[in-house]
Amino acid sequence: MASPTSPLGTHLVAVAHQPAIVGPVPTRLVERTAREEAEDLALAAGATRADGSGHRARPEAADPYRTCFERDLDRIHHSRPFRRLAGKCQVFIAPDDDHLRTRLTHAIEVAQVSASIARGAGLNVALATAAATAHDCGHGPAGHASEEALSPFVPGGYHHAVYGADVVLAPLNLCAETLDAVRNHSWNRPAPTTPEGEVVAWADRIAYVCHDFEDAVDAGIVAADDLPAEVGEVVGTSRSRQLGAFIAAMLETIADTGTVALRQPEAGALATLRAFNYERIYLRPEATEQARRVIRLLRSLTEWFVANPRGIGEEAGSPARDSEEAVVAAVRYVSGMTDRFALALAVEHLGWSPQSLPRGA
């Protein structure tokens, strides 16, 4: 059905519903430079300004309306690596329960927490949101075990944060500040160069610690009553209350200290819940067995594509089998797979039986 038309002034235009009046004609568009000037006045002293940022590996003309970090966020949202996160697990591999988190829903929750902290602290919300949204684009299929699986094929080992920033997101030509926050969001990496990057590091930990416990309860791995008392007494027993408590504590800590940090006792509660998750969820015997299968499966798939690079398709170019180029192409291809695609290829190319595949909770 064609869009309805309406005469507005001297123009005949299409409208979705009734004309939505923005202001007197002619309405002045708010250009990027004016918004950057307002941003400079509104942000905290140590926040990252869009004006003066936006350094990209391949220089580009600035957008007339979007700041450089808003442009990054748009590119990330429209990218294939971000969309594929919908098929990559957070904790539970290819679960039957559609309500358990995936890497995509995790990234969305991290972005929400990052935005809440950045907004309240007077930091650059667009930068924090863009980096948080993209922070896990370098993750391989089937969870953190993919890092151990792919490390033998990558000089220096495979780290999802580094690989995501330097390889997976490279075609998007994102800002240096966004890529730095992605590359260094993990706590075992160097500190990010911006306070927004530090916010993303905290938001990632806060989000996954809270929602992984909730998912484990829903999956029947632990009971709600198993929550350590020192956690519930400080931040509450529901995910929503916990997130609210952690975010409020971070904002108050930033206001009191001028530093992106988390005060006690909330920092202790976060550490306690994370330690509980590792003991009862991530490292339980069933999860350890699934990780062992994941490592064997992904290494075998990578070796198969190194020996059969034509199986990757045109995106790999034409590397010779068993060459260094074939290894690079195979790692990129396998690391980008969704869980279900990797499992299907294990059956097709490796002859694995469906019963031997890593699955579920």
Rounded to 10 degrees, the C-alpha dihedral 124/126/127/130 comes to: 160
For residues 235 and 266, the answer to whether their CB atoms sit within 8 Å is yes
Average pLDDT for 116-129:
98
358 vs 251: which has the higher pLDDT: 251
Task: Give me the residue label for tokens 């398709």.
Answer: 313
pLDDT at 316: 80
CB 197 within 8 A of CB 73: no
Cα dihedral sign, 228-233-239-242: negative
Arithmetic mean of pLDDT, 87-112: 91
Q: How far apart are CA 204 and CA 110, in angstroms?
A: 5
Residue type, 266: E
Number of H helices, E strands in the chain: 15, 2
CB-based burial, 1-22: b 16+ in 10 Å, e otherwise: eeeeeeeeeeeeeeeeeeeeee
**What is the percent of the chain with per-residue pLDDT over 90, rounded to a whole number?**
85
pLDDT of residue 337: 97
Q: Are strands 5-8 and 11-14 parallel, antiparallel or unpaired?
A: antiparallel
Give the 3-state secondary structure of residue 321: coil
Residue 94 has pLDDT above 80, yes or no: no
The answer on pLDDT for 290 being more than 90 is yes
Question: In Å, how far from its chain's centre is CA 210?
Answer: 16
Residue 218: pLDDT over 60:
yes
Return the number of other C-beta atoms located less than 10 Å from residue 272's C-beta: 18
Question: Chain-wide mean pLDDT for the chain?
Answer: 94
pLDDT per residue as tens digits for the range 10-65: 678 787 887 787 776 666 789 999 999 999 999 999 999 999 999 999 999 999 99
Q: How far apart are the C-alpha atoms of 114 and 120, rounded to whole Å?
A: 10
Q: What are phi and psi of 11, to 5 degrees?
A: -115, 145
Task: Give me the pLDDT at residue 96, please.
Answer: 74
Higher pLDDT, 315 or 282: 282
Q: How confident is the model at residue 234 (pLDDT cuts 50, 70, 90)?
A: very high
Give the DSSP H/E element, type plus range, for residue 6: strand 5-8
pLDDT tens-digit map of 176-205: 999 999 999 999 999 999 999 999 999 999
Domain ranges of the chain: 287-356
* Cβ 201 vs Cβ 262: under 8 Å: no
Separation between Cα atoms, residue 46 and residue 127, nearest integer Å: 14
Beta bridge pairs of residue 14: 5
- 284 burial level (CB within 10 Å; 0-12, 13-18, 19+): middle
Residue 7: its H or E element: strand 5-8
Which two tokens mark 53?
A: 């940022």
